[in-house]
Amino acid sequence: MKAWKQFEARHLKPLMRRLEPWDQERYGDVSVHYKSHLDGGGSSFGQEYIPFLRDRAMPCQARVFEWCAGPGFIGFAMLGFGLCDTLCLADVNPEAVVASRRTVAANGLSNRVGVYLSDNLRDIPQSERWDLVVGNPPHFDIAQTGELRFADEGWRLHREFFATVGRFLKPGGVILIQENNQGSAPDTFRAMIDAAGLCLVAVHGAEPKITPYARYYYLGIMRRGETPPAWLTGKPV
């Protein structure tokens, strides 16, 4: 049985994924190309970003970065619905990067979208600067089982992200990350954020502790000492 599972993981599953047909989802002016195994929720609960930002009357952002982007459902939706002018995407999975670049080519977005293969932020060019960072990262502190979409053992990915993202933020730049109350609570990340010289300035939709049911919430984070924009801290208009 163990030998079969190893064969399945190393050979059969990659083959099936290569044979899986491409699919598309349209968001405003952009048609996103993807394969189902690359979707970690960006096409479903990740789309809650759009009404969340619209309801708060967030002005159009000059450049948005989607962390742990997968095929880029969130970022491309923001671009397609006019919530940003340009977009930067990055993922550690080469298949996800291929999907994002396929979307860029099919929609003629090469002058508005940059796509990087990057382990967290390690391979992002130092010249990148972002007004807003969004993302639907792995939501659970569990051991890696081959599913990069869900597992962040020891919160290593989060910790490294908070420690390095500040160098890419423009003055007044905002980080708005979507998390799952079934896997974390805001206090799970507070010490990591503080240690990175950042500040948790807004929490939307979270329970005070981890719950047995899934509820997606948002952490609003900025550099320590910067003033949060009204759209981030205020109530929906």
Residues 107-119: pLDDT tens digits? 999 999 999 999 9
Q: Report the C-alpha gap between 38 and 22 in whole angstroms.
A: 11
Give me the pLDDT at residue 146, please: 56
Decide if 38 contacts 71 (C-beta within 8 A).
yes
Please state, in angstroms and rounded to a whole number, the distance separating the CA atoms of residues 40 and 36: 9
The residue that leads in pLDDT, 10 or 174, is: 174
Question: Does the pLDDT value for residue 187 go beyond 80?
Answer: yes
Model pLDDT, residue 10: 47
Q: Note the helical H segments in the chain.
A: 2-7, 13-19, 49-55, 73-80, 94-107, 156-165, 186-195, 230-233
The neighbouring-strand residues paired with 133 are 65, 175
Write down the pLDDT at residue 228: 97
Residues in a beta bridge with 44: none
In the predicted structure, residue 188 carries a pLDDT above the cut 90 = yes
Q: Is pLDDT at 8 greater than 60 in this prediction?
A: no
Give the pLDDT score at 7.
38
Q: Which residues pair with 115 in a beta bridge?
A: 89
Q: How far apart are CA 218 and CA 109, in angstroms?
A: 28
Percent over 90 (pLDDT), the chain: 79
Confidence of residue 140 (pLDDT cuts 50, 70, 90): confident
pLDDT computed for residue 235 by the predictor: 84
**Does the pLDDT of residue 19 top 90, yes or no?**
no
pLDDT at 6: 43
Token digits of residue 235: 């109530």
Give tens-digit pLDDT for 47-87: 999 999 999 999 999 999 999 999 999 999 999 999 999 99
Residues in contact with 164: Cβ distance below 8 Å, sequence separation at least 6, in sequence order: 120, 121, 122
- Residue 88 DSSP code: E
Mean pLDDT of the chain: 91
For position 15, what pLDDT does the model report? 46
Please choose, from the candidates 177, 190, 181, the residue with its C-alpha nearest in 3D space to the C-alpha of residue 224.
Answer: 190
Q: What percent of the chain has pLDDT above 70?
A: 89
**Owner of token pair 């010289």:** 197
The CATH architecture that domain 23-233 belongs to is 3-Layer(aba) Sandwich (3.40)
Contact 9, 15 (CB under 8 A): no
| Cα–Cα distance measured from residue 166 to residue 170, given in angstroms and rounded to the nearest whole number | 9
**pTM attached to this predicted model:** 0.91
d(CA 197, CA 178): 20
> How is residue 227 written in tokens?
């003033």
202, 228 in Cβ contact below 8 A? yes
Q: Is the pLDDT of residue 4 over 50?
A: no
69/76 Cα distance (integer angstroms) = 10
